[in-house]
Amino acid sequence: MSAKFPSHVTGLAGGVLLLALGAPVLAQISWSEKLSGQDASTTGEQQTQVDEIDRDEIQRSQAEAWGLTDQEWSRYQKLKDRPRGTWSPDLDPITMLGIEARSEAERRHYAELLVEQQRKRVERELAFQKAYDDAWQRLYPDESRVNFFALGRSPSAQSLLSTDTAGPSRYNVVVALEDCSRCDTEVQRLLDQGALMDIWVVDSDGDDDAIRQWATEVGIPADRVRQGQVTLNHGGQLSVSEDALPRIMPRG
């Protein structure tokens, strides 16, 4: 004859049994959730590390493109968050670092670096302009050429200068000292328009005095040169025919 437990004992035992059976299940769910949370945390940390590596690589690539070190690029980024970044938000990295230089040696370093950058830029633009001119001559020899970005004396140059509402434009201007009255006329016109210029002289032979004398004769104000509104540069290494001068290219 089987023993019968009182109903209140049976219920209690059943409850204990259910709790005992359920305990491992609850423990398993809790442990699974914990593992899941750890996995998510680990994935998030790994993604953050990947993002940081990508960002560092991008910044290093940008710094190299401007000829700057990682430290110089980092200082440029900080300067953008300071008053200079508000006053001059569109400055290129080298110019911003040069303006905010902490010593005369640093200022000179950035000035020379910018000259080299601009010289390379002018060379590339002139090379492409020549390729463009040659292509036009091959494809449409009987039609008047439409200038690409070497504006010269075209009406588009006048239009760009006179309708610029954001302030004076800046141009790379390639000229010759000898036998180029067109060069003198164009420089004078740009001066009258208030344009900012980086002038490159292809036949100066490294003679600073020859450039200074030419600038005086053309009427370039010395104070505009001192203020950096107009710069005078030797351009003997530029690949451009003197017959195609002057070359006037807006700086982007």
User: CA-CA distance, 94 to 110, in Å (whole number)?
Assistant: 6
pLDDT > 70? residue 170: yes
Q: Is residue 237 part of a domain?
A: yes
Q: How far is CA 25 from CA 17, 38, 46, 138, 179, in A?
A: 13, 20, 31, 83, 96
Q: What is the mean pLDDT of residues 118-124?
A: 83
Lowest mean pLDDT among 50-54, 190-194, 210-214, 217-221: 50-54
Q: Are residues 199 and 95 in the same domain?
A: no
The pLDDT score that the predictor gives to residue 151 is: 39
User: CA-CA distance, 173 to 198, in Å (whole number)?
Assistant: 6
Q: Are residues 130 and 196 in the same domain?
A: yes
Q: How confident is the model at residue 19 (pLDDT cuts 50, 70, 90)?
A: very low
Predicted confidence (pLDDT) per residue in 39-54, tens digit:
656 665 656 665 666 7
Q: Are residues 195 and 126 in the same domain?
A: yes
Q: Are residues 86 and 179 in the same domain?
A: no
DSSP assignment of the chain equals ------HHHHHHHHHHHHHHHHHHHHHHHHHHHHHHHHHHHHHHHHHHHHHHHHHHHHHHHHHHHTT--HHHHHHHHHHHTSHHHHH-TT--HHHHHHHT-SSHHHHHHHHHHHHHHHHHHHHHHHHHHHHHHHHHHHH-TTSPPPPSS--TT-HHHHHHHHS--SS--EEEEEE-SSS-HHHHHHHHHHHHHT-EEEEEETT-TT-HHHHHHHHHHHT--HHHHHTTSEEEEE-TT----GGG--EEEE--
Q: Are residues 226 and 126 in the same domain?
A: yes
Q: Are residues 241 and 131 in the same domain?
A: yes
Q: Are residues 173 and 210 in the same domain?
A: yes
Predicted confidence (pLDDT) per residue in 66-99, tens digit:
999 999 999 999 999 999 988 888 889 999 999 9
The pLDDT score that the predictor gives to residue 50 is: 56
Q: Are residues 132 and 93 in the same domain?
A: no
The pLDDT score that the predictor gives to residue 162 is: 37
Query: What global pTM score does this model have?
Result: 0.51
Residue 245 is part of which domain span? 120-250
Q: Is residue 29 part of a domain?
A: no
Task: Give the chain's mean pLDDT.
Answer: 76
Q: Are residues 86 and 170 in the same domain?
A: no
Beta bridge partners of 201: 175, 234
Predicted confidence (pLDDT) per residue in 54-74, tens digit:
777 888 889 999 999 999 999
Residue where a domain terminates, one of 100, 135, 150: 100
Q: Is residue 44 part of a domain?
A: yes
Q: Is residue 3 part of a domain?
A: no
